[in-house]
Structure 1
Amino acid sequence: MARVEFRQVRKQFIDRNKKPFTAVAGSDFVIEDQEFVVFVGPSGCGKTTSLRMIAGLEKQTSGDIIIGDRIVNDLHPKDRDIAMVFQDYALYPHMTIRENLSFGLRNLKKPKAYIDQKVSEASAILGLDHMLERKPRELSGGQRQRVAVGRAIVRDPQVFLFDEPLSNLDAKLRVQMRVELSELHKRLGATIVYVTHDQVEAMTLGERIVVMNQGVIQQIASPADLYANPKNMFVAGFIGSPAMNFIDAHVERDHLIVDGGSFRLPEDVAARLSPYSGKDIVLGIRPEDIYGEDFAPGVSTEHRLQARIQVVEHLGSENLMYFHVGNRLVTAKVHPETKGYNGLSKEFILDLRKGHYFDPGTQERITG
């Protein structure tokens, strides 16, 4: 296996009006040997373009791409020692699963005994032994995806590249395949670069996550660090489900004023926000840090906010309650025994100790 490095990698395309636009803007990062790194972001953010540049399917406009100890800028994809798994499986329908798994090795003219050994190893890892003589049309979506992964495994590449491989599966199968991919990484000790638009998938699989937006890397961190310490409002709003709430607020000395309430800030937060006294900020607070006043065990009830519930979603293990604070729609993820219905005026408790505070101009998190 090998590390992957981008050094000031930039990619520009020419649009239909013959104007250049930047898909990836000067990326710098290192993916360590045997690391599982996930690129995540909305459509058009540059994550798939980054993956395709690693594969050699797109040529970078400038910068260097390094795999292992080689600069691969001018290497053909087949010479980069990578294997790619696509969203649409890309299996040959007229071939058996055995033939699909061995196809790449046969093209490389590897000895038959070597091919049989690699196919046997991959099929055992992925539980495909009993279906090797079937055709792809006889398999479920999850089984086809396992075959696509197996075809990559037999290549024994330095780097595995996954381009939204679970997008075509239903919700239950996606969960199952996430578990299988995580276990596969542990078993193979592989370097894996994985692209998805699904932040839950990213948080589940990634040892580190690269969050992108409009071609720019916003933050690279572990799932826990992204969740607890988002660099800016984009990362804070993208990571977490339901998404973080943003509430317009004003700082007056040691008080935070929002539409519907004025709260004395915890001492450490007040100190951090002291340069913003007399100024507007944005309060970011996650839905799980907002409680109904009738069910908030172990939480300080000091920071109370009166609001009228617009919608309640009953999800069994929790309820989601939606209400407005000023012009912002706010979501509270509350205990299922919390009382509430559409139109009810209710007090909610905000745990400001877990709040995040952002500069409305730069959208960067205020860290002190």
Structure 2
Amino acid sequence: MAEVKFINVVKEFEDERKGKVRAVNDANFTVKDKEFLVFVGPSGCGKTTSLRMIAGLERQSSGDIYIGNRLVNKVHPKDRDIAMVFQDYALYPHMTIKENLAFGLKNLKTPKAEIEKKINEAAAILSIENLLDRKPRELSGGQKQRIAVGRAIVRNPSVFLFDEPLSNLDAKLRVQMRVELSELHKRLGATVIYVTHDQVEAMTLGQRIVVMNQGEIQQIAAPEELYENPNNMFVAGFIGSPPMNFIKCRLDGNKLIAADCTFTIPSEKLEKYKKYQGKEVILGIRPEDILSTNLLSYQPETNIVQRTLKVVEHLGAELLFYFSVGDDQVTGRVSADAKLTGLTKVELFFNLEKMHLFDPTTQVRI
């Protein structure tokens, strides 16, 4: 396996109306050997373009790309020692599964005995031994995806590239395949680079996550770090489901004064906010840090707000509830034991121990 390195990589496209459009802007990162790294972001953010540049399917406009210690800027895709799994399974319908798995190896002039060995090994890893004589039309979506992964495994590449491979599967099967891909990575000890627009997929699969927006890398970190210490409002709002709440406030001493309520900042956090005294700020708080007081075993002295709930969504073990602070809609998440209902007035505790403040102009976390 091998590490992958981007050094000042830029990718520009020509647009008839806009002229040059920068899809990836000055990207710098290193994928460690045997790491599972996930690119995540909204459509058009540059994540798939980055993956295609690693594969050699797109040529970067400037900058350098290394796979292992080899500069691959001008290396043909077939010579980069990578294997790619696409959103579309791209299986040959007239071939059996065994023939599909063998196709790439035959093109590489691999000896028959070695092809047989690699197919059997991949089939055992993916538990598809009983599917080898079938045609793709006889398989379910999940089975087809396993075959697409198997076709990559038999190549035994330095780097596996996955481009939204689970998008065509239903929700239940996506969960199952996430588990299988995670286990597969551990078994193979492979370097995996994975692209998705689904932040839940990114959080559950990635050892580290690259969050992109409008061609820019916003943050690279482990899932826990992204969730607990987002660099900016984009990362804070994109990572987490439901996303972080943002409330417009003014900082006055140890108080955050919102449109129709006031919060008290924990004393240990005040020092890092002193440059913003008297200024407008954005309070960021996760839904799970807004609690119904009827679930608390104690009575907080501060940060209790009375609100009329607009809607309550019952999700089995938990509830999502929605209300407003001034013009800002806020979401809370509590256990179903809270027994909340819509259009009722409740007492809510804002736990600001995990709060964040953001600069309203730069949107950077303070």
TM-score, normalising length: structure 1: 0.98
Which amino acid counterpart does residue 345 of structure 1 have in structure 2?
K
Aligned-pair CA distance for 1:299: 8.0
* Whole-angstrom distance in 2 between the partners of 1:353 and 1:32: 34
Matched, 1:261 2:261: yes
Aligned-pair CA distance for 1:184: 0.4
* Whole-angstrom distance in 2 between the partners of 1:27 and 1:172: 35
Matched, 1:365 2:351: no
Matched, 1:198 2:171: no
* Whole-angstrom distance in 1 between the partners of 2:30 and 2:186: 20
Which amino acid counterpart does residue 333 of structure 1 have in structure 2?
R
* Whole-angstrom distance in 2 between the partners of 1:272 and 1:292: 29
Counterpart for residue 216 of structure 1: 216
> Is the 1:45–1:214 contact (alpha carbons within 8 Å) kept by the matching residues of 2?
yes
* Whole-angstrom distance in 1 between the partners of 2:91 and 2:242: 36
> Is the 1:261–1:304 contact (alpha carbons within 8 Å) kept by the matching residues of 2?
no
Matched, 1:251 2:257: no
User: Aligned ranges for residues 316-355 of structure 1 at < 5 Å?
Assistant: 316-355=316-355
> Is the 1:255–1:270 contact (alpha carbons within 8 Å) kept by the matching residues of 2?
no
Aligned-pair CA distance for 1:257: 1.2
Relative to structure 2, which stretch is displaced further, 10-19 or 188-197? 10-19
User: Aligned ranges for residues 134-173 of structure 1 at < 5 Å?
Assistant: 134-173=134-173
> Is the 2:261–2:325 contact (alpha carbons within 8 Å) kept by the matching residues of 1?
no
User: Aligned ranges for residues 1-368 of structure 1 at < 5 Å?
Assistant: 1-17=1-17, 19-297=19-297, 300=300, 302-366=302-366
Structure 1 stretches lacking a partner, 5+ long: none
Aligned-pair CA distance for 1:334: 1.2
* Whole-angstrom distance in 1 between the partners of 2:8 and 2:222: 22
Relative to structure 2, which stretch is displaced further, 54-63 or 332-341? 332-341
* Whole-angstrom distance in 2 between the partners of 1:299 and 1:256: 21
Which amino acid counterpart does residue 271 of structure 1 have in structure 2?
E
SS at match of 1:95: coil
Superposition misfits of 4+ residues, deviation over 3 angstroms:
297-301
* Whole-angstrom distance in 1 between the partners of 2:247 and 2:348: 14
SS at match of 1:320: strand
Cα-to-partner distance string for 1:296-343 (whole Å, 9 max, x where unaligned): 346845211122211110111000000111111100001212143222
| Aligned Cα root-mean-square deviation (Å) | 1.1
Which amino acid counterpart does residue 55 of structure 2 have in structure 1?
A
In the comparison of the two structures, how many residue pairs are matched?
366
* Whole-angstrom distance in 2 between the partners of 1:364 and 1:353: 19
Aligned-pair CA distance for 1:259: 2.6
Cα-to-partner distance string for 1:341-361 (whole Å, 9 max, x where unaligned): 222122211001111111111
SS at match of 2:295: coil
* Whole-angstrom distance in 1 between the partners of 2:225 and 2:310: 33
* Whole-angstrom distance in 2 between the partners of 1:351 and 1:90: 49
Which amino acid counterpart does residue 178 of structure 1 have in structure 2?
R
Which amino acid counterpart does residue 266 of structure 1 have in structure 2?
P
1:39/1:301 CA distance change after superposition, 3 Å = farther
* Whole-angstrom distance in 2 between the partners of 1:321 and 1:48: 35
Which amino acid counterpart does residue 309 of structure 2 have in structure 1?
I
% same residue: 63
> Is the 2:311–2:321 contact (alpha carbons within 8 Å) kept by the matching residues of 1?
yes
Aligned-pair CA distance for 1:77: 0.3
Relative to structure 2, which stretch is displaced further, 294-303 or 41-50? 294-303
Which amino acid counterpart does residue 320 of structure 2 have in structure 1?
L
